[in-house]
Amino acid sequence: MACKGVLNVLIQRILKIIRYGFILSLLFSGIGVVLLLGLWFIPKLSGIQYTEDKNWSTLYLITTGLDFAILQQINGFIQFMITFNYLSVPKSLSFI
C-alpha cells in the first residue's frame, strides 16, 4: 500500500510537470529562434554585399519560418489525428 501511495504521488507530480512542459518547450523554442536570428543569421545577412544574395537569404528565412510555423503544425495535427483514430478503433475491426 505504501508503495502504491508513493507511486501515485510521483505520477501526479510528473503529470503536473508535463502540463507545463508544452509551455516551456514553446518558450525555449522561441528563445532559440530569436537567438539564432539575432546572433547568427542577421549579422551574416548584414555582411552580404550583393542584393541577389540578400534576396535569396531573406527568401530562405521566410520559407524556413513558414515551414516551422505552419507546415510542421499541420503535419503534427494530421499525425495526431491518424494516431487518435487508430487507437479509437476497436481491436475487432482493426486490420493490424
Containing H/E element for 3? helix 2-36
Tens of pLDDT, residue by residue over 57-68, are 888 888 888 888
Mean pLDDT of the residues in the chain? 80
If asked whether residues 33 and 65 sit together in one domain, one would say no
Of 31, 47, 63, the residue at which a domain comes to its end is: 47
Instruction: Give the pLDDT of residue 72.
Output: 87
63 occurs within a structural domain:
yes
Containing structural domain, residue 32: 1-47
If asked whether residues 10 and 32 sit together in one domain, one would say yes
Tens of pLDDT, residue by residue over 18-39, are 777 778 888 888 898 888 878 8
The greatest distance separating any two alpha carbons of the chain, rounded to the nearest whole angstrom, comes to 72
pTM equals: 0.42
Going by C-alpha positions, the residue among 33, 29, 61 that lies closest to residue 48 is 61
CA-to-CA distance for 31 and 72, rounded, in angstroms?
A: 18
Domain total for the chain?
2
